[in-house]
């Protein structure tokens, strides 16, 4: 397969130029100037005309909920990965808060069985504690050997200092990232949105920034002290928590972080009329939090954009705001929102945006051979038109669920073709 005529942006290799990519046996065989790859015509059985398109390493989403095992009425690995492919993601890392919780080698392996009919690569993140109950660590070593890329109790933060320390110590010994959903749930009981003027006006109890920042700060303190500890802060949403991560990075702690598109596109003021498609955790924050996140994206502090794709059935959302499930879908809107908001509105270079979808997340979880298209890497490729204006229609989403605040949004930048190991898995 030869991808020819496109503009290659591969931040890991510092390439931002018109280049062809030759794929052989599911790997990148050669990258070269347009029409200059020797023998390309003879060895490529097929050609993709990428004129006018950006050719990028396949996108990696560090944070998705595909709901399997257990909640197939919301999503399955098959439907979720189809949505991922449509959004340009060739690898997704699945959260373990399923039913049952993915806390064993058996379940990590189950995720990758062919019966799941995954369209893109699925990397399991295992529970950090047994049943995500926060009491007893899972068998990190065995889970890592079985292919888990990280551990987390996502949705249920690890509050106990000793357990979090133990997790970081063991993770450090194994070079295994511990992912934290940072929320002091003792401070957020009954809360359904961000605490501020808007929550007061709407009569909704609000989650304070401190509930996130205090846990991030605690975790950073631990990570600074524990040799080799690897902490990954999931969906960071507040300026206060960002300060802790910045300090950790300055002091060379192995701390990484992700942000979601909705946290750099929307604020708490956007939630009106108690529309539960604006309800997620962490919640939409204040305008100043969004500004802080945008600055951190621009200056390199943010490592990855992750969607926190969290599908829910219509009946789990069409109810009282305070009772509705937390979470929104995000796989198919991430690139459009990122290009529109970060590149077009904020002037962040396209190569930096792509880094956040590729090299950045690959580094966070050590996904070797992914997130780049240098010779020899896996031929996971995303081709997109950075100038294409389009309107997202939730009804046409490939996800089983349609819970998104972005229905009907016009955005710029659309995925055209997605390849996994050299095979086309999505075509617009």
Partner 1 sequence: MTMNPARGSLLGIEDLEASEIMGLLKFARTMNPDKPRPLLKGKRVLLLFYESSTRTRSSFEIAAKSLGAHTVLIQAIGSSIEKGESLLDTGYTVRAVGADVIVIRHPNAGAPHVMARHIDVPIINAGDGLHEHPSQALLDAYTILRNKKTLKGLQVTIVGDIFHSRVARSACHLLSKFGAKITLCGPPELVPDIAITLAPGIRGTRHMEDALRGTDVVMLLRVQKERLAGLRIDLAEYIARYQMNTARLKMAKKDAIVMHPGPIIRGLELTSEVADGPQARILEEVRNGVPTRMAILARALGKMRR
Residues of this chain that interact with partner 1 (CB under 8 A) are 189-190, 196-197, 200-205, 273-274, 315, 318-323
Q: Considering the complex, what minimum distance in angstroms separates the CB of residue 407 from partner 1? A: 11
Q: Which residue has the tokens 């539960």?
A: 276
Q: Considering the complex, what minimum distance in angstroms separates the CB of residue 187 from partner 1? A: 10
Q: Considering the complex, what minimum distance in angstroms separates the CB of residue 336 from partner 1? A: 23
Q: Which is nearer to partner 1, 44 or 191 (CB)?
A: 191
DSSP 345: I
Q: Considering the complex, what minimum distance in angstroms separates the CB of residue 268 from partner 1? A: 12
Q: Which is nearer to partner 1, 105 or 202 (CB)?
A: 202
Q: Considering the complex, what minimum distance in angstroms separates the CB of residue 334 from partner 1? A: 25
Residues 6+ apart with CB under 8 A from 254: 223, 228, 229, 230, 231
Residues 6+ apart with CB under 8 A from 158: 128, 129, 134, 164, 167, 180
Nearest 5°: CA angle at 357, between 356 and 361?
Answer: 75
* Spatial separation of the C-alpha atoms in residues 334 and 234, rounded to whole Å: 16
Residues 6+ apart with CB under 8 A from 4: 20, 34, 35, 40, 47, 48, 49, 50
Residues 6+ apart with CB under 8 A from 77: 66, 68, 94, 111, 116, 117, 118, 122
On whether the CB atoms of residues 269 and 287 are closer than 8 A, the answer is yes
Catalytic residue flag (residue 161): no
Q: Considering the complex, what minimum distance in angstroms separates the CB of residue 319 from partner 1? A: 6
Q: Write out the two tokens for 46.
A: 């097929």
Q: Considering the complex, what minimum distance in angstroms separates the CB of residue 251 from partner 1? A: 34
Instruction: Provide DSSP, 164-227.
Output: HHHHHHHHHHHT--EEE----TTS-TT--EESSHHHHHHT--EE-HHHHHHHHHHHHHHHHHST
Q: Which is nearer to partner 1, 115 or 273 (CB)?
A: 273
DSSP 147: T
Return the CA Rg of the chain. 21
Q: Considering the complex, what minimum distance in angstroms separates the CB of residue 289 from partner 1? A: 16
Q: Write out the two tokens for 415.
A: 């995925």
* Spatial separation of the C-alpha atoms in residues 194 and 211, rounded to whole Å: 10
Q: Which is nearer to partner 1, 90 or 188 (CB)?
A: 188
Q: Could you tell me where the DSSP H helices lie in 226-326?
A: 239-250, 261-265, 287-299, 314-317
Q: Considering the complex, what minimum distance in angstroms separates the CB of residue 329 from partner 1? A: 18
User: Catalytic residue among 154, 303, 308, 385, which?
Assistant: 308
Q: Which is nearer to partner 1, 152 or 276 (CB)?
A: 276
Q: Which is nearer to partner 1, 46 or 318 (CB)?
A: 318
* Spatial separation of the C-alpha atoms in residues 257 and 234, rounded to whole Å: 6
Q: Which is nearer to partner 1, 202 or 424 (CB)?
A: 202
On whether the CB atoms of residues 380 and 52 are closer than 8 A, the answer is no
Nearest to 23 by CA among 396, 373, 317: 373
Q: Which is nearer to partner 1, 42 or 189 (CB)?
A: 189
**Beta bridge mates, 126:** 151
* Spatial separation of the C-alpha atoms in residues 117 and 109, rounded to whole Å: 14
Q: Which is nearer to partner 1, 45 or 323 (CB)?
A: 323
What are the catalytic residues? 308
């Amino acid at each position: 397969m030869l991808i020819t005529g496109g503009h290659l942006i591969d931040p890991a290799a510092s390439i931002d130029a018109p280049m062809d990519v030759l794929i052989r046996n599911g790997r990148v065989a050669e990258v070269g100037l347009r029409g200059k790859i020797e023998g390309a015509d003879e060895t490529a059985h097929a050609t993709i005309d990428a004129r006018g398109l950006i050719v990028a390493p396949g996108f990696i989403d560090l944070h998705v909920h595909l709901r399997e095992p257990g909640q197939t009425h919301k999503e399955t690995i098959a439907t979720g990965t189809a949505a991922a492919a449509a959004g340009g993601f060739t690898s997704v890392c699945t959260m373990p808060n399923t039913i049952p919780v993915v806390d064993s080698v058996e379940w990590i392996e189950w995720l990758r069985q062919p019966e799941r009919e995954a369209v893109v690569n699925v990397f399991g993140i295992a529970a950090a504690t047994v049943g995500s109950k926060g009491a007893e660590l899972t068998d990190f070593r065995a889970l890592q050997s079985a292919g888990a890329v990280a551990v987390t109790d996502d949705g249920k933060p690890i509050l106990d200092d000793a357990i979090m320390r133990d997790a970081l110590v063991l993770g450090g010994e194994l070079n295994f990232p511990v992912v934290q959903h940072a929320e002091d749930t003792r401070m957020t009981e009954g809360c359904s949105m961000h605490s501020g003027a808007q929550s007061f006006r709407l009569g909704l109890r609000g989650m304070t920034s401190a509930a996130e920042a205090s846990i991030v700060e605690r975790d950073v303190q631990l990570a600074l002290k524990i040799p080799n500890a690897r902490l990954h802060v999931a969906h960071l949403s507040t300026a206060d928590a960002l300060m802790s991560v910045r300090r950790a990075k300055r002091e060379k702690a192995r701390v990484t972080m992700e942000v979601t598109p909705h946290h750099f596109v929307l604020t708490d003021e956007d939630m009106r009329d108690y529309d539960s498609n604006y309800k997620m955790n962490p919640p939409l924050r204040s305008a100043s939090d969004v500004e802080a996140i945008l600055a951190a994206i621009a200056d390199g502090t943010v490592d990855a954009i992750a969607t926190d794709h969290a599908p829910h059935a219509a009946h789990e959302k069409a109810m009282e705001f305070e009772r509705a499930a937390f979470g929104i879908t995000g796989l198919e809107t991430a690139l459009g929102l990122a290009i529109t908001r970060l590149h077009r509105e904020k002037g962040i270079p396209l190569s930096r945006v792509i880094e956040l979808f590729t090299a950045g997340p690959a580094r966070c979880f050590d996904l070797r051979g992914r997130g780049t298209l240098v010779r020899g890497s896996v031929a996971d490729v995303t081709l997109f038109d950075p100038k294409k204006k389009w309107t997202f229609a939730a009804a046409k989403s490939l996800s089983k669920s349609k819970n998104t605040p972005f229905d009907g949004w016009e955005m710029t930048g659309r995925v055209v073709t997605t390849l996994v190991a050299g095979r086309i898995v999505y075509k617009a």
